[in-house]
Amino acid sequence: MTGRFLRVELRRSAAGGIALLMLVVGTAMLLSSTQFFAGRWMQLAVNTRSMLMVLLPLALAGGAWLGRRETRHRVDELFASTVRPRWHRVVPTAGALAIAVVTAYVLVFLIAAGWVVPTSEYFPTAAIVVTSVGALSLVAAGWLGMAAGRAVPRVITAPVLAVIGFALVGLAPELVMTPDLNAEIARFRPEPSAVLLVPVFSGGLDDLQTIVTRISLLQTLWLVALATTGLLLLSAVGRRATVLAVLPAVLGAAVAVPLLPAGGTRGAAAVDPVAAELVCDAEGPQVCVTRVHAGLLPDLVGPARQALTMMAAKLPNAPTRAVQSQQVAYWAQLVPDSAPPRHQADTIVFDTPTIGRTGHAELSADFLPSLLLAPWEQECGEGSDLDEAYLAQVVAAAWLSGQPPTPPPGWEPVETEQAKTAYEALMALPEAEQQRRMAAARDAAMDCRADGLLAILPEENS
């Protein structure tokens, strides 16, 4: 019997329209910037979760519209006089809304997956978990919206609820994160753990990271509690039932909040060891990328080997393999790694190139020059970045390519001049001396001795 009601509700209620609206808005927003997730399942899951910023308010508004239906058609008194318990009547409508919003969310994910499948070679199961939590949050929002629509049956309820929902999920996490301007140095405040009760991921995730399953389970617990509250409120008759209905949400929050980690998204993220594994191309000098970026390997092999060949031609003990950096981006680390592992001298490490809208690498004109800097780069940890060290690297790269240094964008004319002078001074030396100096500078850089690297600059600079 319930099944038939459910089918009728799905066919004839506003649930279909709500799902269609959410599908169109969500897909349009997600596909407007495919470069953020193309080729990466976890990024797709997280980006779909950040679309909740619009989808959750729409689910709330849609629920409120549906919850107000009986008053709008002036049948609430008629229905209240039937002998069936209220929840018999409520469950098919609530079920139809839940099916509709979940379908819309999953369809948004699947449509956008068209930009992931062609270039992806790694599918983490956590992506499914993250997506399920997002779908569940829409159910909770829809049911809470229905309860609100029933309690205050006015046209303005739905839009007001949507705006309040937007403020809660879209703006509140930003507000608690804003830098404390009164502090001496503006720092991002550590996000409180309660931020993770909001299912929107506003912080973003590094490609090598994944959302810890334990956090997803805690979020599931809280959202199930919230959805239960919504459903109970919707079917509550009388004051006591209404008060009791709030209990699950309060309990859910009370259990989940102490167990959630501080730090919002960054606290919920961890390095995915499988995603960070190296995948190598060994036909020639070895070129390796992380598994999550395996799709980029064919694009990168060419320039990487070209750079290795240029190094082999000039540098004694030249590096023989190029490896993508396995470091998580600085902004994604909760506690910055002060002593990252150093790499071997026979290896150059390059950063992930920009990923384009179709999931292929967008190799800009400065990708090869950045590879030529790499032999003099080492992960030395905090406080090791000297401006002069970069200057020395630019000069060294210019020596490798045999052309005067081209100033990177944003350089002062003074620095450009320094680089030119240093390069000319270096080229004036006999070739054997040039090679000796560059090799010494490289040894120093690999050992994190900044002074040794600076030795290639003329006296007045260093």
Partner 1 sequence: MRWLKLHLRSRRVPLALTTATSTIALVWALSLAYTDSPTINARTASVTIVLAVIALGTTLSGADDALDRTASVNWPVRRAGHLLLGAAVITALLLLTTVTDASFEPLTLVLRNTAGLLGLTALGAALFGAALAWIAPLTWTLVAVMPFMGPSRELKMQLASWLIQPTGTTAATVCAIVLAVTGLLAYALRGCPLRPASETAPDQ
Q: Please give the residue ranges that form the binding site for partner 1 (CB under 8 A).
A: 21, 25, 29, 32, 53-54, 57-58, 61, 71-74, 153-156, 158-160, 162-163, 166, 170-171, 174, 202
* CB-nearer residue toward partner 1: 71 or 406: 71
162 backbone dihedrals φ, ψ, rounded to 5°: -60, -40
Residue 338 structure tokens: 């002060």
* CB-nearer residue toward partner 1: 7 or 154: 154
Tell me the C-alpha distance between 384 and 451, whole Å.
11
Give, rounded to a whole angstrom, the gap between the first and last alpha carbons of the chain: 85
* CB-nearer residue toward partner 1: 73 or 357: 73
* Least distance in angstroms from the C-beta of 177 to partner 1: 11
Residue 121 structure tokens: 């070679």
* Least distance in angstroms from the C-beta of 139 to partner 1: 20
* Least distance in angstroms from the C-beta of 50 to partner 1: 9
* Distances from the Cα of 26 to the Cα of 22, 43, 117, 187, 306, angstroms: 6, 16, 19, 33, 42
* CB-nearer residue toward partner 1: 167 or 278: 167
* CB-nearer residue toward partner 1: 51 or 276: 51
* Least distance in angstroms from the C-beta of 296 to partner 1: 25
* Least distance in angstroms from the C-beta of 163 to partner 1: 6
* CB-nearer residue toward partner 1: 50 or 219: 50
Residues in CB range of 314: below 8 A, 6 or more apart: 399, 400, 435, 438
* Least distance in angstroms from the C-beta of 142 to partner 1: 16
- Alpha helices per DSSP H over 236-366: 239-259, 264-268, 297-314
* CB-nearer residue toward partner 1: 53 or 349: 53
* Least distance in angstroms from the C-beta of 154 to partner 1: 5
* Least distance in angstroms from the C-beta of 166 to partner 1: 6
Q: In angstroms, how far is CA 389 from the centroid of its own chain?
A: 31
* Least distance in angstroms from the C-beta of 239 to partner 1: 24
* CB-nearer residue toward partner 1: 53 or 307: 53
Classify residue 272 by its DSSP letter: -
Amino acid at 217: L
Tell me the C-alpha distance between 137 and 281, whole Å.
42
270 backbone dihedrals φ, ψ, rounded to 5°: -145, 155
Tell me the C-alpha distance between 2 and 348, whole Å.
64
Amino acid at 413: P
Residues in CB range of 391: below 8 A, 6 or more apart: 415, 418, 419, 422, 457, 461
Q: Is 289 helix (H, G, I), strand (E, B) or coil?
A: strand
* CB-nearer residue toward partner 1: 200 or 218: 200
Tell me the C-alpha distance between 5 and 206, whole Å.
45
* Least distance in angstroms from the C-beta of 73 to partner 1: 6
355 backbone dihedrals φ, ψ, rounded to 5°: -100, 130
Tell me the C-alpha distance between 417 and 412, whole Å.
9
* CB-nearer residue toward partner 1: 170 or 303: 170
SS3 sequence of 151-193: HCCCCCHHHHHHHHHHHHHHHHHHHHHCCCCCCCCCCCCCCCH
